[in-house]
Structure 1
Amino acid sequence: MMKNALITGSTKGMGRAISISFANEGLNVAICSRNEQELLKFKDELHIINPNIKVFAQVADGSNKLQLLKFAADAQQELGFIDVVVNNLGMFSPSSILDDADDALQHQINTNLMPTYELYRYFGKTMIAARKGYFFNICSVAALNPIPQAGTYSVTKYALLGLTKVMRLEMQDHGVKVTAIIPGSTLTDSWKDAVVDKDTMVLPEDIASAIINVYKMSAGANVDEMIIKPAPGQL
């Protein structure tokens, strides 16, 4: 029986690379995006990459709880049991806390923390009942060493790493694995306006490769946390 992976923030950067990697592994994938045109184009690309898989694509704003949970429910109805949840959705805001807009904290909580919390609550009990499943949460090195130029971002990523640790403790007796992927400077849309050398950065494909290799480990092995930084150091 084919397995199913659900990935948030699916059409760009790390989410795109992760979705492609799971498609190459022969898993059906559930993807979402706010942009319908990008989503449908990527759905077609995934079918070309692997014509034998199902691709469930739904327009959804993952920072909106109702849209997020509808995507989760519809994906499960369409594909069946969701074996892998990759919580990739996130945003980076270069601002100190004192310079934040009034809604900055809530907006970043809704994007960087809430989706993981809600998808854990949605899929967690089903995975416990099946005694299988995997959560990958894309955190950040800002969860280990805060970035003063991105204060609220650092706070929400600290919270996400803390949530991941709680998830792992709650799941470890039930056959469900939980891994925090902790990237350093990664060449995603967050850097689209910067002039950078890609050879000095982590690439989205590196994150995808790491997840696939962790996913393929034996049943008795769990990688609690994986830190992936640029070889020359953080930018």
Structure 2
Amino acid sequence: MATAGDSSNPITPKPATKKRKPRKPKLAAATAQHVISILNTASPAAHTFLSQNDLYLLPSQSLQLESLLSSLPLPFSQLPSQPSLFHRFASSATLDFDQRWVQFFSVSRPNFYRLLSLLSPSLVVFLPSTIPPETALASALYRLAHGACYKTVARKFGLDSSEASCLAFYSVCKAVNDKLGDLFEFRRDLERIVVGFGWNSLPNCCGALGFGRFGVWEVWG
């Protein structure tokens, strides 16, 4: 007989039981079918709205709507192809004081065509015949103004691929440097430019073609 304090028959502890993670409720077949039905209706309607109104929406609005549509599962995310944005835009915004030129490309209509006349000779040399100079300039200005990715720019401006969009952007930048670089005395003003970027917390920077947002972790010393 075991008595208190007797260590000959120790009490065996019960093994710890693992807590089961709560399972996520599965979507009922009827509910899933209902969601698919809604997507089948809403997605084409949104695509149609975008294609019919992209010239009258602000670029930030159309880009946001495209981003939301592209986040849908296939095949709802596939944006239909359409004619080049610039050709449709130029046919619609024919007045010099139409503010949509500034909204889309950050330049007025007269300044766009003045810039095009200066850069066209170089762009004809740099680019294949499948990329007209006006399309290259418009796509590059659009990317600079709104930070759109090459894939989006290619689709909007009727370019074959992201690589073609990148080539157009690079060619416009090179043409600007070749044709208009002498208007800016960068070498003489380089020290002043570097100091100016330093005031904006960009040390040793002498130029920028774009910007992007990124998170920064705060480190305590």
TM-score (structure 2 length as normaliser): 0.27
TM-score (structure 1 length as normaliser): 0.26
Structure having the larger proportion of residues in helix: 2
Larger Cα-atom Rg: 2
